[in-house]
Each structure stands twice: as C-alpha cells, then as structure tokens.
Structure 1
Amino acid sequence: MTTSFKLPIAPVLVLAGLLALSPLAQGRAPLALDDVFDLELAGDPRPSPDGERIVFERIWMDRQSDRARSMLWIMDADGSDLEPLTSRDRSVSSPRWSPDGTRLAYTSGGQIFVRWMDSGREVRLADLPRGASNLIWSPDGRWLAFVMHTPEADGLPVQLPGRPQGADWAPDPIYIDRLFYRADGAGYVDAGWRHVYLLPAEGGSPSQLTEGPYHHGDLSWSPDGQALLLTANRSGNAEREPQISDIYRLDLATRELERLNMERGPHARPRLSPDGRSLAWLGFEDRKLSYQANRLYVRELDGGEIRNLTEDLDRGIDDFAWDPDGRSLLIAYDHEGRGLLARQRLNGRREVLTDTLGGMSYGRPYSGGDFSVGASGLIAFTHLSSERPAEVAVLERNRVRVLTELNRDFLADHELGEVEEFWYESSVDGRRLQGWIIHPPGFDPSQRWPLILEIHGGPHTTYGPGFAMELQLMAARGYVVLYTNPRGSTSYGEDFANLIHHDYPSEDYNDLIDGVDAVIERGYVDPEQLYVTGGSGGGVLTAWIVGQTDRFRAAVSVKPVINWYSFVLSADAYAYFTEYWFPGPPWEHQEHYMARSPISLVGNVTTPTMLMTGEADYRTPISETEQYYQALKLRGIDTAMVRIPEAPHAIYRRPSNLMAKVAYILYWFEEHAGEDTGSEDQG
C-alpha cells in the first residue's frame, strides 16, 4: 500500500530553497533532498577462495518502490572487470562462495539460490515457508545450513459459536500470552522459534536440526563437516534473559547437542580454527551494565584454558575471522569514532591494519562496516569516507586499496560540506571529548553562521567521520552542523560508556553544550541562531536540553523517549530495558525513572519544539511523542507533531522518509529563524 506524504505549503518554500543552487556554492551544485536516490553503497564483500575475484552487494535506491535494494556485482581482485551478477528486478543479498569457488549461494526474498559460476545457471534450492538467514556452506560443499523462524502450531483458546456459513464477522481477536510479542521493524511476531536447518546444495527438502522453545543462531561448521557450532539459550527462561546465550556443538550424525562453555554469560559467533583445535568466540561477563563490550576469547578444545585476547584493548569487538593459517585472527572494533581492522595474534600481540572500516550508515555518521577474509588470505572490507558511502577496498601487504567508485558521478556533480574533526574539554570533569563540524559549501569564517547541534542515538553508539546524507543536507542549506560523542558513547572504553549507567540523561547534556560553546568560540557561529535535533537517544537529549536551557531558537526531537516509566512498559525490548538500563522495574523506582524523564522538565520549556516519530515505531513508541506534544500544547508552547505513516524506528528505510525527515526539520528551523541568519560579522 502506497502512503501519500504531502508537505504543507510553508515547507514547500524551504524545499524550493534546498533544490535551488545555493549562492554559497561555487561550481558543483549543493545537495538537494531527492539526491538521496542517487546514492549507492557497497556491502558484504566476499573474496573467492582463490583470491582472484570479489563479489559484493551493490545497494541502490529505487525511486519507484521507494526502497533500498541490492544487486550482486563481481570484479577481479584488482578492481578490474566489474560486472553485475544479478539484475535490478529483485533484491539479492548475502553472497556466500562454495569452498571450491565454483558456486555462489545467496538469498532473495528469503529464498536460497545457487549460481554455477562457469555457466551462470541459477537455481532456487527449495520453496521455504519463511525467510532464511545465517546461510553457510559445509566444508565439502555438499550442504547449506541456515536458520529459519519456525512457527508454533497454536490455535485460539476461544472459539465463538453461531457463525453462519459465509458470514462477514469481525476478524478473530488476537490472543497474546508471550513475553516477547512484537519487534520494531517486524511488527507483531508469530509465535515460534528460530531453528537450524540443513539443505542439500543441489536442492531438495530442508531438514530441521533443532527443536524446542529455543532460538538458535550464529552458525559455523567444524572443519571436518561432522558438526555445526551454534548459539542458543536453552535454559527455558530465554525471554527473561535477553543477553544470555551458550555455545553448542550439534553432531550431525546423532543430532545431539553438547554445550561447550561452562561459564555463565553471553557467548556469540563461535568459530573453530582451520585445524579444528581451537574455538574462538565473542562475549563478556554479564554485570547488568547498560553497556558491556564484547571481548574475544580463545580456548583449545583439548582442555586448554580460556584466554581473553582483548581485555587490554577495552573496546567492543564487533566481528572477527580466523586467518587461513590459524595463527591469528582479524578483528573489527571502533576506536574514537573510527572503524578499525586489526590482526590479533594468539600470543596477545595486536597490529592495526586500517582505521577506514565503515561507510554502511549513509543517513547519519554512525560506525559499522563489513569485512571478510578469503581462503587465500585476501581481506576485503567496506571503506569509510566522509565524502561518500561505503566502497569496496582490500588490504594488500597492510596497505589499503579502494577498488570501486560507485558514487563517482554523484560526487562529480555535487559539492559537499567539509568535515572537520576537533577535540574539546568537558566542563564537568575535564575529559577530552571528540566532535566533528560540517562546514556548509562556500563556508567563509568571516561570516556568522547558524548552527545545528545533531545528537546521536543509542545512547551507546558512536558517531565518526563517515558520510551522512541527513547532516550534509542541513549543511547544504547554509548551517554549520555539529555532532559529537558525549559520555555514554562507545569507542572510548567501557568506563566512558557507563558514565551514564542508571543515570541517563545526565552530564552528557553538559558535554553537548560544551561542544556548542567550543564552536562558538571560533567566532563564525551566531550564538543567537542555535538549533538542536537528534533521533532516538538524540531525541531524548533534545527534549532534555530544551527543559534545561532556552539557548536554542528551535528544536526537533525525533523518535524520543519522554517518560521512562511508560517507555519500558510499551517498548519492544522491555525485558532488556528494565534489567540493564534501570535498577529495577518502574513501580519499585518511580522517583528514579521520573527524575531522568524529559516530561519532568516540561514546565521549563519555552523553546519551539517539534516532535517526529514513525507510527509503526515499537522501539520508542509514538505514544511517547504524543505525551510531550500534548503537554507542550497544554502549556501553550509552540509545537507540532509529525507522524511518519508505517515507519518503524529506522525512519530512513524509505528514502522519501529520509527526505521528509530533513525537510521538516529544516522547515521548523526556518520558521523560527531570525533575520540575522547568515549575516556578515561586523565586529
């Protein structure tokens, strides 16, 4: 169903300004809203086993369907002979080479396909009732294992009598008795569990390997092909233990499960070394902190001790892979806003290979990237840049070589705002804090410019020097855009992230204001033209800021939490939030919840404040937005509510919704701007 999303008359004037050439830009045109449809990015690069070719996802924005879609492309390992493997007719993802490199498996519409690389022949292997994920080849290339949601056979507990044949009665009531019953982006979920399946590589019927009321995932094969490693919480209390998972060895001959870890705590992504003698995995000791960083563990299966290889690093490990020689591992983690790839030796030594992993978040400058290691040792990854979304790169003798230029035409026609990194000092405790400034095209430091403070969500995430379409669109309109990593952000260590444990928001407010003041001290920002916005955790802090200060001329709080009490009882991950973000349930800690809720400060607000949330958002439900809107209306504060039809928490999933988000933010700021915007400095 297509949703019509019309702008009122006033914002159209702003759009006209955005779409027109800015007098500040010289030569190339500044960004316009619908340029989002011209973006492309690379994802999931996979070297062939012989290291001669690389296949990857080429993600593009479809104007007709208003969605991001992906094709598979292939090229030689030096970047030459780039060509498509699949067409634009359907979205294809998750390419996986067979061990001998003769075939390629991938998914489309949740179905599994295999392509024979010599002939180009493609076959759908089975007619799956649900979407497949975690696709992985057996070492001998004869089987594909995957995970699939398996619904429970349940009926309604009540059957209404007296319905005439063919009668048009109301739909049956929906009966829910599960703790986890809906998820943001998926809606109300069917009762059931994720189970492991095995499918012959030449096609046939999939066999279900696991059973019971347990979720399974994180698959890997043993080198001999006789077993699968997987993760699951089979305690019988999984829904109330959202962080806990164990590692199991599934014997394919007997279907018996053997738990490999004895200690309690989250365990993820188990992978055996190429010789099958050592097991590596990610995990941490669960201390019920709001942020807990993954460590990389290794243990020899013949009874060796567990070794934590990254305890000294104090950074969360996002992913890892064994080197083909089995003597080291490749690890990915964030450090000071950047994505790093490093070689981790089993003796504890570590060598950083690159700090340019990332580029997958094109809307806002979040971290996150893909990498993989081929059997030949070739390392392919998505490359980070502030000037464009992810491209495919390889590491050759520890040197980075970028192979693709998917956005070459886009960059040739558009002028972007320059991104500058800077550090400043916290007024609370003297900590060094990191931020970035996007200067508008045509920036002249002798002029005074309006400033937008844009705040990241999470709150335990990190911004960095990546391409950010939303923020670049703001800069194209003539704003200096500031974004920072206040306390609570990741990539600076576990202690820094947990400065807001059971105390959010708190001094992160001061960190943000300190960043604004540090930029004002440079002399080119008009202190009377300050604006603030942010999404999710950034929406929380936006609402918190306007309850603390009237320095900002206008604010837009996107998908915020306004009342922590109501939030934890309506969000999708409520079992997690009450356990890890708070000292207990809200009815036992009412004062604690309310003291950190922006609704408690609504009586102080004088700043014109717009609210924006997706109507299908189950992470920060729109009822939070409605509370704040109605409270501001009752107080007579200038406010508006923008509801994005059918949108989940990730508003940007539909490119037109990303456009609308930025357009409404800029409309609100323009509506409340003073006449001195962009005026020349006379003093």
Structure 2
Amino acid sequence: MKYHLLAGATLIALATTPAFARPMTPEDILNIKNASDLAVSPDGNGVAIGVSEMPDIDNGAKNGTSERRLHVGSAANALKAFLPEDMNVSGLEYSPDGNMISFLWKPDGDDAKRALYGIPVDGGGHQKLASIDDSNVTAYAWAPDSQTIYVRASAATDKARKKESKAGFDAIIYEEEQKFPRLFAVDVNAADDADPREIKVDGKIIAMRVSQDGRWLAVAAAPTTQVDDELTSTRVHIIDATSGARKASVETPGKIGDFEIDSSGKTLSLIAAVDKHDPAATTLYLVDTASGAFRPVTEGQANAAVDTEWMGDGRLAVAMHVGAQSELRFYDARGRLRNTVDAGELILRSIEAGGGKLAAIADAPSHPRELFVLERNRFTRWSDNNAWLTDIDMGTQRAIRYTARDGQEVEGIVIEPVGGAPAGGAPTIFRVHGGPEAHDSNGWLTNYSGPGQVAAGKGYTVFYPNYRGSTAYGTAFSKQHQNDYAGKEFNDLVDAIAPLQAMGLTNKDKVGITGGSYGGYASAWGATALSEHFAAAVMFVGISNQISKFGTTDIPNEMYLVHSRKWPWEDWQGMLDVSPIYHVDKAKTPILIMHGAEDTRVAPSQSYELYRNIKVRTDTPVRLVLYPGEGHGNRKAAAQYDYNVRMLRWMDTYLKGSGAEMPPERIELPAGFVGTSDAKSED
C-alpha cells in the first residue's frame, strides 16, 4: 500500500526537552486547563475567556465536573482572573456598550438557580442582571441598546407534579412529557419587582441572535424536545422581537450549526448540511433574512466550516477545517472568497470579533486550547494556561495519508513513542473517533479517553484514523460509510496497519484498538469480526447489536438518515451481520468494555450483550465496567481518571505484557486522591 506524509502537515518533535523532562501521566490529564467561552469587547480593547479545569481530586478536592473561571486581558500574557476563584461561570459576553462582562452562574445552595450576572469592566463587584422564578437561565443574547436582554429559561416548574413526586408518585412517561424552554425579554434597568416579558416561541429553543436594530431575532428551534429532532429538524426562524411572530424561516433540509447576523441585518451566515442525509453541518450558506432564502458558498468543497463571525467592515470570517489542519477564511458579503490566513500548526475551534479585532480559541500538537489573536495576518498567542507542559517529554506528532485496499486515500494523525520506535516497531494503539461524523485534527489529542501523549510516554505509537465517514474531507467522503455498516469504514482501520509497520512505527502483532460511541463500535468490531488484526480492545459506550440498538437509542431517525439508510425490519439478517455479537465466535481479542450507566444514546445493554456473549461463548478475557451517574461519556473527574488508567493498564497487559492474567479489578489510587486520605471510612 502507498503511504506518505501529508504535504504541509505539521511535523513536530514536540519538545526541545530539558534534562529533567518526564513522560505525561494520567494524573497530568486531570490538571490540563482549556480556554473556552471566548468574548471580545466591542472596541476590541479587551478579551474575555473561560478557563476550564477539572477538580483537583489528586490533592483531595471534591469529585465533580469541569469548572470554568473568567479571565480578562488586553494584551498577550496579561490575562487575569476577574472573579472570585469559587465562581464557576459560562456564557461569557460583553454588553454592546462595552461596560460590562455578562455570564451565567449558579450560586451554591440546593435551591439556587442559574441566573445572568454582570461585572463592570472598570472594576466593581458582580450583580444579578436577569433571573426567572423557579427556572434556570440557560442562554441569553444582548439587544444592541445594552438595556434589553433576551434569556432562554428552563420550563416552568410543575408544582402539582413536584408534590406528587415527593409523595412517591414519580413515574416517568417516556417521550410524552415535553417541557419546552421559554424565551423572555428582560429590562436590566427595570425595578426589581418588574416581571420579565415572555415571548412565545414554538418548539425547543436551541440558540438565538439579535439583529443590530433590535427589532427581530434569529432563533434556532427544534419541533420537539427529543434529541433526534434536535439533531435532524432544528431550523432557524426570524421572529419579531416584540410579539414573537414568525417573519421568515430558513428551511434547510438537514442539520444546522453556527449562525450569525451581519451588521446590516440583511444577511445571515449559516453552517448547515446539504441535505437530510448529510452526516454533519459543515457547508457555509448565506441567508436572506427577509425571505429565508439561502444559497451555498462552500458546497462540494473538501473541508468543514466550523465557526463564523461578521467583521465590522462587512467581511465574514470563517474558521475552516481542511482535513487534519485548519485555516481562517474571509469572504465578502456576497460570499466571494477574499483571502485565507494560514493557521500553521493551530487548529481553530472558535472565533469571535469586536472593534476590528479577531480572536480565536485554538490548540496544537504541543498544547491544549488557548487564546490567540489575529495580528497582521498571523495568530499571536495570548494565554498559557499549561506552562508545566514544557516539563513533559512528548512524542513526535504528524499527519499521514495512506491508500486503502480499494484505492481510497485516507488520512490520520500518528504520535510516535517518546524517543522513537524500536526496531521492529512499537506496540500501537488505534484511537477511533466517534460519530463517525467527526474528525480528529492534528492538534492536541490527549484526554481521558484519548491515550495520546500518555501512551507515547509509555512507549506506544498512537494512531488517530479519519476513516470513511469522517468530516472535513467533503460531504461525499463523509457519506461513504452510509448503508455499509462495518464495511469500508472499518477496513480503513486495518489498512493502516501495514503502512505504519512499513514506516517502522508499528509491530503488527501488537496493535490495540479503542474508541467511544461509534469508535466503541469499531473497537467491538475489531475484537470480534476483525480479531485477527487486534491484540487488545477497549470499547467505550459502544454498539454491539445494530438491531437492539435501534430500539434503545434516543436517535433512531439520525441512525436511519445518516448511517444505515434503511430500517432494521427491511433487512433483519443484514443488520445482524454487521453486529459484533454475531461474530463472537471469532473473538480472540481480550476486550475491556466500559459504559456510563445512564447512557441514553447507546444504552448500557449494548455492553451487557457483548459481555454476556463473549463470556458464555468463549474463553476470551473480557471485563465490563459501569460508571454510575455517567451518560454517553464520563463527565466527572474520578470517572475520567478511572477510565484512563483502566484503558492504559489493559493495553499494557495485552500489548506489552504476557497477558496471562487480566489486570486487577480495582485500580490503585495514588496518595492524595479522594478516598485515600486518613478520613474515617463510611462503611
């Protein structure tokens, strides 16, 4: 097979490492901070970001989910915390007059609700700007007068139902008890006892923008509260800001992403799918706000639009992913490409503009997400939230392309072992992304479920394949997996082994596979139907039975429209043929199965089915681990750490060790973690 480095791809020996450099550890992953929630002041003089981090459980902090702190600055390396350290905030914005930074915050307390707060940019304490009785404020948008704020709030509390529940009558009627969020207009200067004005909107409000004249809103809404409809049927509507009357609708045929209103109010930028079978919203459109008519700008191109932002001079800035890399594009109001800014090694995740300044959240092979500002057509780094990474010895990372068995060129990102691969190649972990309507960029790839630099520090080659079905290579490429479950898409994984071996990076007899969701499906398939190619597998929230998955997921229409393209009852045997449980007789690959106990996307029963089939029908090593309170992915720090340690330990046992025995059931927690202190046991 042919293989080569991607032309222009990032090739980095990720450190000029000092003598005291050390490999990255699972504990380090807990300490990674990421920039998020970007806002730029209207005059361009200030930038606000959220800095997200997990609770410091390795030093005894209470277990929990990621928390976000507000940081503000006006120059590179000058960002400072702007609120008390214990305030976990989100939804950062500047008021249109630039006098205030607003944010969503829920104070401590069982009865506290999330409300909208603001803090003056020139000093002073934070104050509440908007709240809705008995409801959480979940999103908002400023009107241009800096006086009116449109807030999305959760559904009103059903007091009768609450009383019934306390009495034990807490039955749930599945999918029938829709509770739509509500939209209110709030006057921030009104008296404290003034009631917010409710604006009636049909459906579930997903996102909203306010026109520059303040007369209308662009509101994205789904027809029901079901996840399936939110994914496949959300549409943008132009509504009157006073009455809520619908003035126009943008009847795109499939999924939608980011949308923004230009300064004239005549045009809306919209990232959307090209049709109902398009797996992802990646095509840029321009919309006439008067009529709702839309026209494509980038249809058919081999890229994926990620985020858009209108500049003060009328240009439209677009963060674009092109394969494993990214770039910034500027279009004029008619959709003509004016210029492109090479982002270099940066992977642009989101952009914001104000006062002629454009800022971006971006990561790279050498660092997680940080703040960058465009200056003279180059991005200047403004934040460094993980300075300790200079002490980490990292493996070389680059994008490669190889040719699959049918001639299709496929791209992926490889991280070499720290110090390089030994003669004969290194043990290798394939980390398969989910979706498959997603892609891995050549940026920061290390997280709790992505082995990345932690595995590289342990002597592994790590490969992230953008197999058929991945985005950022054009809609045609992303549709190639449709009506072909476990076919060419997973052949692409096997077809990467020989090129990696020929490059001296991989020992073909020591290849493991892991991934979550659709990547979990790939891992289960690799451990059963493709067992001869993989020596270890770790499946996370993955699919094992395509028939029962249809009856237990919250996205059956999504599965039909952009994956299977047929219903199970149209071909029962065909659906069974592409189910890992059907191939358990071939399963020789030791497999660790992990799942969130509250997952509604891929029911935990999918993991039970595979576990029970392997356990009953084979002698192959198998273990099932469930995470109480977690859903389709682990959110809490302890569950993330536990997952990362188990995944790597499983790979160590079967790719580097003898594999004579499974690892112990429990992981050994280092000193300092929750539950390892001298505190008295509750048993």
TM-score, normalised on structure 2?
0.84
How far apart are the structure 2 equivalents of 1:437 and 1:304?
A: 44
Q: Which residue of 2 aligns with 1:396?
A: 375
- What is the CA-CA distance between 1:265 and the residue it aligns to? 5.4
The amino acid of 2:484's aligned partner reads D
The amino acid of 1:296's aligned partner reads L
The amino acid of 1:136's aligned partner reads A
How far apart are the structure 1 equivalents of 2:328 and 2:493?
A: 29
SS at match of 1:569: helix
**Equivalent of 1:324, from 312, 315, 327?**
312
Change (3 A) 1:339 1:202: farther
Q: Does the 8 Å contact 2:205/2:219 carry over to 1?
A: yes
- What is the CA-CA distance between 1:44 and the residue it aligns to? 2.3
SS at match of 1:441: coil
SS at match of 2:360: strand
How far apart are the structure 1 equivalents of 2:254 and 2:435?
A: 23
- What is the CA-CA distance between 1:27 and the residue it aligns to? 3.0
Q: Does the 8 Å contact 1:568/1:578 carry over to 2?
A: no
Q: 5+ unaligned residues in a row in structure 1: which ranges? A: 1-23, 161-167, 180-189, 360-367, 678-683
SS at match of 2:155: strand
Q: Which residue of 2 aligns with 1:27?
A: 20
Change (3 A) 1:666 1:253: closer
SS at match of 2:330: strand
- What is the CA-CA distance between 1:115 and the residue it aligns to? 1.0
- What is the CA-CA distance between 1:106 and the residue it aligns to? 0.6
Once the two structures are superposed, what CA deviation does each residue of 1:545-588 show, in whole Å capped at 9, x if it has no partner?
A: 22223232222112110011111211222343244433344234
Aligned residues: 621
Q: Which residue of 1 aligns with 2:14?
A: none
* Stretch of structure 1 that moved more, 619-628 or 28-37: 28-37
Map 1:328-407; keep pairs closer than 5 Å.
Answer: 328-345=315-332, 346-355=334-343, 369-374=349-354, 376-407=355-386
- What is the CA-CA distance between 1:274 and the residue it aligns to? 0.7
- What is the CA-CA distance between 1:153 and the residue it aligns to? 4.3
SS at match of 1:209: strand
**Equivalent of 1:247, from 229, 236, 246?**
236
Q: Does the 8 Å contact 1:151/1:191 carry over to 2?
A: no
Once the two structures are superposed, what CA deviation does each residue of 1:658-678 show, in whole Å capped at 9, x if it has no partner?
A: 22222112222233346699x
Q: Which residue of 1 aligns with 2:585?
A: 603
Q: Which residue of 1 aligns with 2:115?
A: 111
The amino acid of 2:462's aligned partner reads V
Cα RMSD between the aligned structures?
A: 3.0
Map 1:98-247; keep pairs closer than 5 Å.
Answer: 98-109=95-106, 110-128=114-132, 129-151=134-156, 153=158, 171-178=168-175, 191-202=178-189, 204=192, 205=194, 207-211=196-200, 214-233=203-222, 242-247=231-236
Q: Which residue of 1 aligns with 2:42?
A: 49
Change (3 A) 1:307 1:212: closer
Q: Does the 8 Å contact 2:511/2:536 carry over to 1?
A: yes
How far apart are the structure 2 equivalents of 1:510 and 1:331?
A: 34
The amino acid of 1:415's aligned partner reads D
Q: Which residue of 2 aligns with 1:185?
A: none
**Equivalent of 1:58, from 44, 51, 69?**
51
Once the two structures are superposed, what CA deviation does each residue of 1:105-149 show, in whole Å capped at 9, x if it has no partner?
A: 111123210112223221112443333233211101011112222
**Equivalent of 1:74, from 67, 72, 75?**
72
Q: Does the 8 Å contact 1:438/1:481 carry over to 2?
A: yes
- What is the CA-CA distance between 1:647 and the residue it aligns to? 1.7
SS at match of 2:73: strand
Q: Which residue of 2 aligns with 1:625?
A: 607
The amino acid of 2:379's aligned partner reads V
Q: Which residue of 1 aligns with 2:263?
A: 274
**Equivalent of 1:440, from 382, 400, 417?**
417
Q: Which residue of 2 aligns with 1:8?
A: none
Q: Which residue of 2 aligns with 1:88?
A: 85
* 1:458 is the counterpart of 2:463: no
How far apart are the structure 2 equivalents of 1:60 and 1:280?
A: 32
Q: Does the 8 Å contact 2:211/2:217 carry over to 1?
A: yes
Q: Which residue of 1 aligns with 2:459?
A: 478
Change (3 A) 1:575 1:660: same
Q: Which residue of 2 aligns with 1:17?
A: none
Q: 5+ unaligned residues in a row in structure 2: which ranges? A: 1-16, 107-113, 660-683
- Give the % identical residues: 23
Q: Which residue of 1 aligns with 2:474?
A: 493
How far apart are the structure 2 equivalents of 1:46 and 1:549?
A: 48
How far apart are the structure 2 equivalents of 1:34 and 1:488?
A: 33
Once the two structures are superposed, what CA deviation does each residue of 1:584-643 show, in whole Å capped at 9, x if it has no partner?
A: 442343123212211111121111112111112222121101100000001232211111
SS at match of 1:55: strand
* 1:592 is the counterpart of 2:579: no
* Stretch of structure 1 that moved more, 261-270 or 582-591: 261-270
SS at match of 1:330: strand
Once the two structures are superposed, what CA deviation does each residue of 1:427-459 show, in whole Å capped at 9, x if it has no partner?
A: 12x122112221222225446421112211111
The amino acid of 1:427's aligned partner reads R
Change (3 A) 1:665 1:72: same
* Stretch of structure 1 that moved more, 78-87 or 615-624: 78-87
SS at match of 1:384: strand
How far apart are the structure 1 equivalents of 2:455 and 2:230?
A: 41
The amino acid of 1:318's aligned partner reads V
How far apart are the structure 2 equivalents of 1:236 and 1:634?
A: 40
The amino acid of 1:115's aligned partner reads I
Change (3 A) 1:263 1:631: closer
The amino acid of 2:54's aligned partner reads M
Q: Does the 8 Å contact 2:434/2:520 carry over to 1?
A: yes
* 1:510 is the counterpart of 2:491: yes
How far apart are the structure 2 equivalents of 1:278 and 1:673?
A: 55
Q: Does the 8 Å contact 1:196/1:217 carry over to 2?
A: no
SS at match of 2:93: strand
Q: Which residue of 2 aligns with 1:681?
A: none
Map 1:536-615; keep pairs closer than 5 Å.
Answer: 536-546=517-527, 547-615=529-597
How far apart are the structure 1 equivalents of 2:373 and 2:187?
A: 32
Q: Does the 8 Å contact 1:356/1:385 carry over to 2?
A: no
Q: Does the 8 Å contact 2:555/2:601 carry over to 1?
A: yes
Q: Which residue of 2 aligns with 1:5?
A: none
Q: Does the 8 Å contact 2:302/2:322 carry over to 1?
A: no
How far apart are the structure 2 equivalents of 1:416 and 1:142?
A: 50
The amino acid of 2:607's aligned partner reads T
Q: Does the 8 Å contact 1:632/1:639 carry over to 2?
A: yes
Q: Which residue of 2 aligns with 1:363?
A: none
Once the two structures are superposed, what CA deviation does each residue of 1:520-560 show, in whole Å capped at 9, x if it has no partner?
A: 11235333322222221111111112222323222211211
Change (3 A) 1:324 1:524: closer
- What is the CA-CA distance between 1:505 and the residue it aligns to? 1.6
The amino acid of 2:234's aligned partner reads S
SS at match of 2:76: coil
How far apart are the structure 1 equivalents of 2:238 and 2:180?
A: 19
Map 1:247-326; keep pairs closer than 5 Å.
Answer: 247-261=236-250, 269-289=258-278, 291-301=279-289, 306-326=294-314
TM-score, normalised on structure 1?
0.84
The amino acid of 2:404's aligned partner reads S
- What is the CA-CA distance between 1:227 and the residue it aligns to? 2.0
How far apart are the structure 2 equivalents of 1:125 and 1:241?
A: 29
How far apart are the structure 1 equivalents of 2:565 and 2:266?
A: 42
Change (3 A) 1:201 1:314: farther
